[in-house]
Amino acid sequence: MRLDVITIFPDYLAPLRLSLIGRAVQDGLVDLRVHDLRMWTTDRHRTVDDTPYGGGPGMLMRPEPWGAAFDDVLGPGDAGTADPPARVVVPTPGGRPFTQAMAAELATEPWLVFACARYEGLDQRVLDEAAGRASLDEVSLGDYVVNGGEVAVLVIVEAVARLFPGVIGNAGSLVEESHADGLLEGPGWTKPSMWRGHAVPDVLLSGDHARIARWRRDQALRRTAARRPDLVARLEPDRLDRQDRSLLAELGWVVDPGGTLSRLADAPPPVAD
Ligand code: 6SD
């Protein structure tokens, strides 16, 4: 997979060369290319920003350096090149929410190009230009504002690249983790079995794998109901077994006539877990 990142702070992306993703870059599984947007400026001050038309506070990113950067990074993008089609990802608080499903989808792409905004964001024509020559995704990490796209790119690349075959040593951990099946993962314990008076739950020491799997599923359902009722409401009832349904009913969740899970108005309040 090829990953290009265009930013005015290339050093910000240094963590992508550490740990598991760093190993994948070193091993050539991920072809990571970080570009300094100022390379494509032409003035003495290497200017990338200017005041917004119509007035208002702050500065926007000028289109010219971005246009030149896209010309060089994306190339002509026609049938005359051997390059696969690129997908351009622009982090912005106004984008579509980034989810595990989006990470899984992006992980199937051969080439992602990330454009990191700063200041008050990009001139709209930068986005229009990108959309005209590649498929464009404006993506939000969540409903809060940070100072630029770089930190979002760190998150997105880590979430995407770890799904790439060979990046994570233990592929089984991808199947059982939070969000893999629409549920939060339950708590975990390691040795010692007793620590500062806190014991590991007996069931985990029982060696009864079916009972352990069921108990873990119950823990995941309880935690999800307590912390993320929005995720419970999105579960597909057809993918729940009898024990799932009975536990959820205990927590006040029933399958309504429309076939979706909803919480009974008189259900007991969710309990913290
Ligand atoms: C100015 C940016 C780029 C500013 C952002 C994205 C999310 N989810 N919060 N904040 C953001 C991205 C903010 O460039």
- What is the pLDDT at residue 172? 74
- What is the pLDDT at residue 80? 62
- Contact 252 CB / ligand 1 (< 6 Å): no
- What is the pLDDT at residue 229? 97
How far is ligand 1, taken at its centre, from the CA of residue 115, in Å?
Answer: 11
Predicted confidence (pLDDT) at residue 10 exceeds the cutoff of 90: yes
**What is the tens place of the pLDDT at every residue in 21-71?**
999 999 999 999 999 999 999 999 999 999 999 999 999 999 999 999 999
Model confidence at 123, pLDDT cuts 50, 70, 90, reads very high
Closest atom of ligand 1 relative to the 141 alpha carbon: 8
**What is the tens place of the pLDDT at every residue in 210-241?**
999 999 999 999 999 999 999 999 999 999 99
- What is the pLDDT at residue 160? 97
Q: What percent of the chain has pLDDT over 90?
A: 87
How far is ligand 1, taken at its centre, from the CA of residue 120, in Å?
Answer: 9
- What is the pLDDT at residue 79? 65
More confident residue, 272 or 120: 120
Residues with Cβ within 8 Å of residue 172, at least 6 apart in sequence: none
Predicted confidence (pLDDT) at residue 171 exceeds the cutoff of 80: no
Give the C-alpha separation, 234 to 237, whole Å.
Answer: 9
- What is the pLDDT at residue 234? 96
**What is the tens place of the pLDDT at every residue in 243-273?**
999 999 999 999 999 999 999 988 878 877 7
More confident residue, 101 or 169: 101
Give the CA-trace dihedral at 176, 180, 186, 192, to 10 degrees.
30
- Contact 152 CB / ligand 1 (< 6 Å): yes
- What is the pLDDT at residue 165? 84
Q: How confident is the prediction for the chain on average, in pLDDT? A: 95
Give the C-alpha separation, 89 to 111, whole Å.
Answer: 11
Rounded to the nearest 5°, which phi and psi values hold at 74?
-80, -25
- Contact 94 CB / ligand 1 (< 6 Å): no
- What is the pLDDT at residue 221? 98
Which residue's CA lies nearest to atom 10 of ligand 1?
A: 145
Model confidence at 18, pLDDT cuts 50, 70, 90, reads very high
- What is the pLDDT at residue 268? 79
Model confidence at 179, pLDDT cuts 50, 70, 90, reads confident
Give the residue from 56, 1, 20, 14 showing the smallest Cα distance to 153.
Answer: 14
**What is the tens place of the pLDDT at every residue in 92-110?**
999 999 999 999 999 999 9
Neighbouring CB atoms inside 10 A of 215's CB total 17
Predicted confidence (pLDDT) at residue 155 exceeds the cutoff of 90: yes
- Contact 90 CB / ligand 1 (< 6 Å): no
